[in-house]
Amino acid sequence: METLQEKEQITAMPRIGDAAPEFKAVTTQGDIDFPEDYAGNWVILFSHPADFTPVCTSEFITFAHLEDKFNKANCKLVGLSIDGLYSHIAWLRTIKEKIEFNGMKNIDVKFPLIEDISMEIAKKYGMVQPNESKTQAVRAVFFIDPKGIIRAIIYYPLSLGRNFDEIYRALIAMQTADAFNVATPADWNPGDDVIVSPAGSCGVAKERMDGNNEDLDCKDWFFCTKKMDKTTVLEKILNKQ
């Protein structure tokens, strides 16, 4: 019977704001030292349950199709599965040679896919959820910034394929927050208004409500937005590297 200590080891996961757990691994693109090899880049580290499964296949085709788009946003992709290297290679070859999804075909997966037969890395990142499966990693997505800090985490069950528009939107939103010292509201996309920090004093709150800052649209002292056009956002983010 599994002990409480063993179960906690499997389900433990790093939190937002933590340094990304370090590891060295064999991948389909050679050995990597993570996150050291990716210093200065954003990274999306994502897990999938198993090779040669249909939902995972659709996801890998989509990620590979979008890799250039993520690269332009200074973001590298790194996949992980609790499968062996040779299984990974065979699966990725099959994807390229035989599988078509949503009009995408002949897709060459160039980003690294980690071998994790021992489940050591998956356990470090809490990718194994025992109530879902003790032998497969759920669909975890870790957003790691250029300093190696975890900035966002999204988890999906085994049955649910990821939304790649949302993954990209979240990446751009976090980069926008960093670059312009703003926050992004619900459903934000580049070109939408952004949120400025709440007033930190009574004086600033009064100035905002008196309309003394023409750049701000304040519904109340704590809820102010400002316009930020799409070109400004994307030029800052996509052209900075």
Half-sphere exposure of 241 (CA within 13 A, CB side): 16
- State yes or no: 208 annotated in a binding site: no
Rounded Cα–Cα distance for residues 86 and 82 (Å): 12
Rounded to 10°, the helix 230-238/164-180 angle is 90
Q: Which of 56, 75, 218, 224 is catalytic?
A: 56
* Strand-pair partners of 104: 101
E strand or H helix at 37, and its extent? none
Tokens of 35: 């996150």
Total count of residues recorded for the chain:
241
Is the N-terminal amide bond of 198 cis, ω within 30° of 0? no
Does 202 participate in catalysis according to the annotation? Answer: no
Residues marked as catalytic: 56
